[in-house]
Structure 1
Amino acid sequence: MTHGLFVDLLIKTHLRYAVPQPSDLLLQIEVLSDAQQTCRHTRLHLNKDLPQREIPGADTAGPRRWVQCDALFDCRYETQVRIMRHEAPIETLPETPRLAIPGDVIPYMMPSRYCQSDLFLDFVATRFADLTGGALVNALSTWVSTHFTYDNSVSHSGTTATDSFASLSGVCRDYAHVLIALARAGGIPARFVSAYAPDVRPQDFHALVEVHLAGDWHIVDPTGMARPSEVAKICVGRDAGDASFLTSYGAIDLIEQSVDVVRLPT
């Protein structure tokens, strides 16, 4: 539950995949530790003492791991995370002046694999002509949430923002890609966020958006399922291609996968 300026979450994740041939996996499920979120009582267990190497977390990513496996990949991750993130009203935030945008933010203004923002320039300029900054982001997010239908049967790993825009449907990943593409088309840096959050239905890894306004990054959830003050970030990227929870360099088949996120009493 929320208490003052923080919320405590208990996160449990279980991944179980069949591995028909020896494969290298890049695992990206561990919560990022920074000034806004702190983990404790963390446990990560892999089956069979699989060979692994941890890659230390960067500014935008929690710890990642290379894992070598064959036959079976079974992973259990559990952590308690305290989130201390101020939830700013997006609609009141001014646009970051172009001259003040730092170099590491510029890539999030450009088209990317799943977010072809250049194809949305006319739509944003025509439909939202009088809006800038947080007011524009709020209007774009509202447009996505009101026009889209949440449907896990219409998209796949190759679905892009243009595909989802055409069907007006998808899952959280698709909602995020469309909002990112629209925000970039409006000149606002935007990036993909992989995270855990309570109240996500169905419970799973969750995809959200961060936009750069007033000189800082701010979380927006176009699905409306998660509050920024209750989001435990795993990593960010240009789109889902940078933030996959599991990347396999070889064939794997899903057996079982579960994510459970609950608020803890304080």
Structure 2
Amino acid sequence: MEFTLKSTIHYDVYSPTTFIFNIQVLNESQNQSILSESLQITPALPYKEFSLKGSKTRFIKLQANAFQPFKIEYQAHVAMQHTLIPKKKVSKNTSIFTLKNEIIPFLTPTRNCPSDKLMEFAFHLFGDLTTDLEKVTAINEWIYNSIEYVGGSSNANTTAYDTLNRKQGVCKDFAHLGIALCRALNIPARYFTCYASNLFPPDIHACFEAYLGKTWIVFDPTKLAELNQLVKIADGKDGSEIAVATLFGNAYCTNMTIECHQIDTHKEIIGLGTDFFISY
């Protein structure tokens, strides 16, 4: 499958401000390859690209002066080859003792995913289910059926605990709640950002991944996007690690437009979510 995507973000700047953007798709991946890409900043501003040690996430660090509005535009043409995981492969539980060391951090609470506050609730609703796959699937369905998607209903400080109590949120809040409930049940989970074909409203999308059968499996409790129509940007412990934009100064986003389109005619995957799951 091939996709074209584009993100355009405009900012007004009121004091010297450093920005960190996370809008470039994942490059070093067995499931996706970048056929072409471009990054344009108007007017030209000093910037650097970097990745953190042990991570494949691609960040852009940019410096803007006061009263210097600018536009950052990223475009890419990406080929995808999803990994299909048979249900039987992820139906067996993985013990904490045998987990790889790098997976352990995805079991613990974070600012946006305070799983320690949700343990009693999670065990009450899902603790009687036998396998981790059953638990994660039930969590995904419960969030979809119980939390209302309301645009603009949360901010960067909204936690999974807040979302559970307010019963509303946007995709990042759905993802944070899924992560927190999984971790409360001792299932490793992480935040997943992506471009999504035919997503409405168009935006950079957030899902979550659960570590099942020694594999990261993607889930989308909003059900706004097809799981085989995603182009991965990054993964992290929660959204604060891989936010679309983080700024240090005083600036305001005046406009953001996101596009993602499938450009080939690949058929839908049969049995996805029942017979097979997708790993990115």
Check the 8 A contact 2:57/2:235 in 1, yes or no: no
Alignment of 1:1-266 (within 5 A): 7-33=1-27, 34-56=29-51, 60-70=55-65, 71-88=68-85, 93-131=91-129, 132-265=131-264
**TM norm structure 2:** 0.88
Q: Which amino acid aligns with 1:69?
A: A
Q: Secondary structure at the match of 1:265?
A: coil
Q: Which amino acid aligns with 2:80?
A: I
Check the 8 A contact 1:90/1:138 in 2, yes or no: no
Greater CA drift, 103-112 or 119-128: 119-128
* 1:51-97 deviation per Cα after TM superposition (whole angstroms, max 9, x unaligned): 11111476644321111112113111100111111243669532222
Q: Secondary structure at the match of 1:182?
A: helix
Greater CA drift, 209-218 or 94-103: 94-103
Q: CA deviation at 1:156?
A: 1.3
* 1:106-153 deviation per Cα after TM superposition (whole angstroms, max 9, x unaligned): 111000001010111111212112222111100010000011111013
* 1:155-202 deviation per Cα after TM superposition (whole angstroms, max 9, x unaligned): 111111011101111100110011100000111000011111113211
Q: Secondary structure at the match of 1:228?
A: coil
CA distance in 2, matches of 1:90, 1:165: 29
Check the 8 A contact 1:61/1:234 in 2, yes or no: no
- CA-based RMSD of the aligned residues comes to 1.7
**TM norm structure 1:** 0.93
Structure 1 residues 17 and 207 mapped into 2: Cα distance closer, same or farther (>3 Å)? same
CA distance in 1, matches of 2:2, 2:53: 23
Unaligned runs of 5+ in 1: 1-6
Among the aligned pairs, what percent are the same residue?
28
CA distance in 2, matches of 1:150, 1:31: 25
CA distance in 2, matches of 1:227, 1:90: 18
Greater CA drift, 171-180 or 80-89: 80-89
Q: CA deviation at 1:27?
A: 1.3
Unaligned runs of 5+ in 2: 266-280
Q: CA deviation at 1:49?
A: 2.0
Check the 8 A contact 1:83/1:229 in 2, yes or no: no
Q: Which amino acid aligns with 1:127?
A: L
* Equivalent pairs, count: 260
Structure 1 residues 181 and 89 mapped into 2: Cα distance closer, same or farther (>3 Å)? farther
Structure 1 residues 90 and 125 mapped into 2: Cα distance closer, same or farther (>3 Å)? farther
Q: CA deviation at 1:99?
A: 2.1
Richer in helix (by share): 1
Q: Secondary structure at the match of 1:88?
A: strand
